A = this chain, B = another copy of it.
Amino acid sequence: MLTIGKLGEAAGVKVPTIRYYEQIGLLPEAERSAGNQRLYGRKAMERLAFIRHARDLGFTLEAIRDLLSLSDRPDQSCAAADAIARAQLAEVESRLARLTALKAELERMVVQCAGGKIADCRVIEVLGDHSLCATDHRHPETELAQ
């Protein structure tokens, strides 16, 4: 049995994060030692690794909650898991497209900066006047988030 610190070390997750996952119900309530400290076995370790990996892949905690409950029902169809993964892939692809456009615009901006005074600065100028922009990177809906 591992204490919370060892578990965190093993899984690459910070201690308060583990307690947070327990608090929001992503991890079950841990067993406790005589002195009230959390103790974890292999099952908890695996579950935490699953969460960590999914987080690394950008899944939200909500999506992970769904994936975990799916993985607890091995006899069911995997369509739902597949759908969640595909949705995440679509998310990533759209963010990628957006970031690629941003990169182009930022590059244009910094390349044009001649290094003079603010009054002549292309960076400030472009930010102040959207019409100086090559690409239309305005997205009312799509969040930059995550």
Residues of A within 8 A of B (CB): 12, 46, 49-50, 53-58, 67, 70-71, 73-79, 81-82, 84-86, 88-89, 92-93, 95-96, 99-100, 102-103, 105-107, 109-110, 113, 115-121, 123-124, 126-130, 133, 137-140, 144-146
Contacts and interface: CB of A to CB of B under 8 A. Distances in A.
Contacts of A58: 99, 102, 144
Nearest to A14: B140
A57 to B, nearest CB: 6
B110 A86 contact: yes
Contacts of A105: 57
Contact of A77 (B74, B118, B140): B118
Provide the main secondary structure of the chain A interface: helix
So how many copies of this chain end up in the complex? 2
Given A70-B118, A93-B103, A118-B73, A53 B127 contact: yes
A123 B81 contact: yes
B76 A117 contact: yes
A145 B58 CA distance: 9
Contacts of A96: 96, 99-100, 103
